[in-house]
Amino acid sequence: MTDQIIAESDARVVAAERRAATLKKRKAAEKRFQWFGRISIGFGIACVLFLFTDIVSKGASAFTQTYVDVEITFDADTLGLSPQSTEEEIRAASFGSFFKKSLRAKYPEASDRRQKRQLYALFTSDMPLILRDMVIADPSLIGQTTTVSMIADDDFDTYYKHSYGKNLSAEDKVSRLNEFQEGIVDDLVESGAVERKFNSILFSNSDSREPELAGIRGAVVGSILTLLVTLVLSFPIAVATAIYLEEFAPKNKITDFIEVNINNLAAVPSVIFGLLGLAVFINFFGMPRSVPLVGGFVLTLMTLPTIIISSRAAIKAVPPSIREAAYGMGASKVQTVIHHVLPLAMPGMLTGTIIGMAQALGETAPLLMIGMVAFIVDTPTGITDPATVLPVQIFLWSDSPERAFVEKTSAAIMVLLTFLICMNSLAVWLRKRLERRW
């Protein structure tokens, strides 16, 4: 009897021990599983942070530009001008050789031709033109000596920003300047003539082959024009489609077919829309290449599904009682929709539209297909002028071999991301502020 009890309790103890062991294992598994989740989330957030810090650390320096204060004497004899010269005479004057001569006078140590050329290369190649424009703006400068804030060349700029005064090993040193040039730069810096100012060129110039003269203005204007076309087309069409499908469409095959098509369009890769634009708009209808109008058409087709889907959700959220009350007052179906449903659904529709526009703003691939990758120096003035857009500009710059374009590209990305963050915050704010809960 007692033996049996002892055996039973032994078995119980063993079972309890075993249970405790498995429980421990199970609890450990539970902990492990939770940690997997935490690590995944941590990885995601780390990616966000890494992406942003990487871009910002690369691009922040592009918001300043190195300028050099140089005293220039607009010598009347060298230029062949007098303060009374007309604008045409000034335009005809040879500022190129004047600029070179002034530099040579400043740095007589540049003896042979190679060193002279290296000396000129420290400043942007547009410098003679800038001097000319200064004189045109103020002809009384002729014969005077003034301090001109000269734009440093990209190699100078990169050296001053990243290598100057730092004891870098030869490997880490990112400089394309040679010793002679570095000597001049070091002298200039010591004399206090070199300064970093806010880079207004980045925002006032369009694309250029010279990194120090390249800016995003043309691309931003192109983006705005393209988005304008997209907005003007996609918002009314999407809202009309959503209203039709939610309020008017009979339940039949055609309606089903429209719905299937909208859902499919939402999943078509964006590059295919580029093929469509190329084959239909450019090849078939003979529209010009590289223009915001065609870009807007392509992006409209691309963003339609997004806006339609969110507009439909907004219309669905309007309670039927509103419609019934309107019918009760004798309103027709169209009157009910226009006067009551539409205003109540508008915040949701606008939110969807802003999100769709943000998508369109960041889109690159379809615009490459329709030729918006051309190198365009002029700022577009209308929707039929050749243009490029901000993401395509980023793509073009990221392909450029000059190191200075890396920071320009990152800066352009920062501008693009700022636009996107603003648009998305606006959408979130609009949703919080205006959307009604029933």
- Within 281-340, the residues that bind other proteins by CB under 8 A are 283-286, 301, 304-305, 308, 332-334
Check residue 53 for interaction with other proteins (CB under 8 A): no
Q: Where are the alpha helices (DSSP H) in 107-178?
A: 113-120, 127-137, 154-162
Among 37, 80, 183, 343, binds other proteins (CB under 8 A): 37
Among 21, 44, 117, 325, binds other proteins (CB under 8 A): 44
Is 131 within 8 Å of 142 (Cβ atoms)?
no
Q: Integer distance in angstroms from the first to the last C-alpha of the chain?
A: 73
Minimum distance, C-beta of residue 395 to other proteins, in the bound complex (Å): 5
Among 15, 45, 105, 174, binds other proteins (CB under 8 A): 45
Minimum distance, C-beta of residue 433 to other proteins, in the bound complex (Å): 17
Minimum distance, C-beta of residue 119 to other proteins, in the bound complex (Å): 32
Comparing CB distances to other proteins, the nearer of 13 and 338 is 338
Check residue 27 for interaction with other proteins (CB under 8 A): yes
Tokens of 379: 């700022």
Check residue 262 for interaction with other proteins (CB under 8 A): yes
Minimum distance, C-beta of residue 224 to other proteins, in the bound complex (Å): 16
Q: Where are the alpha helices (DSSP H) in 191-318?
A: 201-204, 217-243, 253-267, 270-276, 292-316
Comparing CB distances to other proteins, the nearer of 11 and 23 is 23
Check residue 265 for interaction with other proteins (CB under 8 A): yes
Which residues lie across from 195 on neighbouring strands?
67
Among 54, 109, 256, 324, binds other proteins (CB under 8 A): 54
Check residue 345 for interaction with other proteins (CB under 8 A): no
Convert residues 400-419 into a mask of x (bound to other proteins by CB under 8 A) and - (unbound): ------x--xx--x--xx--
Minimum distance, C-beta of residue 2 to other proteins, in the bound complex (Å): 33
Which residues lie across from 255 on neighbouring strands?
none
Check residue 267 for interaction with other proteins (CB under 8 A): yes
Q: Which stretch binds other proteins (CB under 8 A): 112-120, 170-178, 255-263, 346-354?
A: 255-263
Among 56, 237, 313, 344, binds other proteins (CB under 8 A): 237
What is the C-alpha to C-alpha distance for residues 176 and 159, in angstroms, rounded to an integer? 8
Pairing of β 145-151 and β 194-198: unpaired
Minimum distance, C-beta of residue 98 to other proteins, in the bound complex (Å): 38
Check residue 11 for interaction with other proteins (CB under 8 A): no
Minimum distance, C-beta of residue 311 to other proteins, in the bound complex (Å): 12
Among 8, 10, 30, 109, binds other proteins (CB under 8 A): 30
Comparing CB distances to other proteins, the nearer of 286 and 320 is 286
Check residue 356 for interaction with other proteins (CB under 8 A): no
Check residue 22 for interaction with other proteins (CB under 8 A): no
What is the C-alpha to C-alpha distance for residues 386 and 236, in angstroms, rounded to an integer? 26
Q: Which residues contact 402 (CB under 8 A, 6 or more apart)?
A: 154, 211
Tokens of 131: 């001097």
Cβ contacts of 261-267, under 8 Å, gap ≥ 24: 262/304, 262/305, 262/308, 262/309, 263/305, 265/301, 265/304, 265/305, 266/305, 266/306, 266/309
What is the C-alpha to C-alpha distance for residues 119 and 104, in angstroms, rounded to an integer? 8
Check residue 5 for interaction with other proteins (CB under 8 A): no
What is the C-alpha to C-alpha distance for residues 373 and 375, in angstroms, rounded to an integer? 6
C-beta neighbour count of 311 within 10 angstroms: 28
Check residue 111 for interaction with other proteins (CB under 8 A): no
Tokens of 364: 């690159």
